Structure 1
Amino acid sequence: MPPLRRSRAKAMVATGVVRERRDPLEDEARFLRSWFERPLVTGAVTPSGKMLARTMASYVDPRVDGPVVELGPGTGPVTEALIRRGIAPERLVLVEFNPGFCELLRHRFPGVTVVQGDAYDIRRTLGGVLARPAAATISSLPLFTKPLEQRLDLLNCAHDLMQPGAPFVQFTYAVVPPIPARCEAGSYTASRSNRVWLNLPPARVWVYRRP
């Protein structure tokens, strides 16, 4: 880590924005245990790497007001990247199914709102939580474990809770998009990042917007 980034990380801990620095090895062990217990829910055996988390966070403009929703934050690598990006913790609404991860996130990121619930039923899970339309939704959910109809329903519901033109950001390890190209026409536009080769395994970020 370059000196500037190391200093910034220490400053985030010192000011209480992040209560403790993440230990990658401990987080990988947590993820692996969770995957063994619920493979279709966790979806990945390791947390997102720093470069992938940074790429996902780069699609969120901190100047746009409103809450930022994160689906499936796990141990918080993308959460940390969003805070580094300039998103105040108080703006972050994290939806996590795993109760152990929820407890960890509340401890690790003071000020964020952590909602334990089903991210695929986002309308019900966030009912009464969002005081205003969201500025963005960032998803680390394993979409390919769900049928296409359920993926599309999640995308529609997420956009219903967001401002017009707000991004729905989703990463995938696959070479094909999480929402197939034939579903991108009409109501949505889609763009993608370059493949993040420094992540293990390599991944790509897709961004869906609805006018």
Structure 2
Amino acid sequence: MKDPKLVHLDPNGIRQLFLTHGKKIKLKKKEIFAKQGLPLFSVGLVGTGGFKLVYKQGKKEWIKSFIFEGGLLGSLPSILGHQTSKYSILALEPSEVFVLTANVFKTKMEKENQYKDFLIQFLSNLYLKKEERVADFLLLEPEKRYKKFIQEYHSVLERISQIDQAAYLGITNVALSRIKKRIFEDIR
């Protein structure tokens, strides 16, 4: 299955762009990179650590995705469309992020071909991932979604709490415990 990173950034020089023009920030566990309902004026490249993208309504929480080393943090509607962010981005663990202002990011993407190619590839991968996620929610039972989740995030699974795994899968923590128990019993 796919690595959690949407694209490999180094071949396109994106990492160097963030290292050269960005500012390194450190976030503590549970610290917010972006807050739902507020505009986001920057894009981040995860140097170390991990993040969850979270939709909240009242006390209910849904996790859109997880992003780890090499992945980009941001909200396209906020950065490109000057809208508020539809979700929050929170650190799962102590993390370092290289941050570019949205203006620098947009200018580079619009004017330099290597970055245009990256943006097309990034957006294509993002669209395909989103389509697959919607199809999984509509067509797969929670146990099959969990098995796909394990395949996709196997390299970082121990860094994602069971509560966050359940929120990503759209099920309760109790339901996930039952699924894990069934899977473990099937393995024996």
Please say whether Structure 1 and Structure 2 have the same fold, judged by a TM-score greater than 0.5: no
Q: Structure 1 length as normaliser, TM-score?
A: 0.27
Q: Over alpha carbons, which structure has the higher Rg? A: 2
Q: TM-score normalized by structure 2? A: 0.29
Higher relative contact order (CA closer than 8 Å, sequence separation 6+): 2
Give 1 or 2: higher strand fraction. 2
Q: Which has the higher helix share?
A: 2
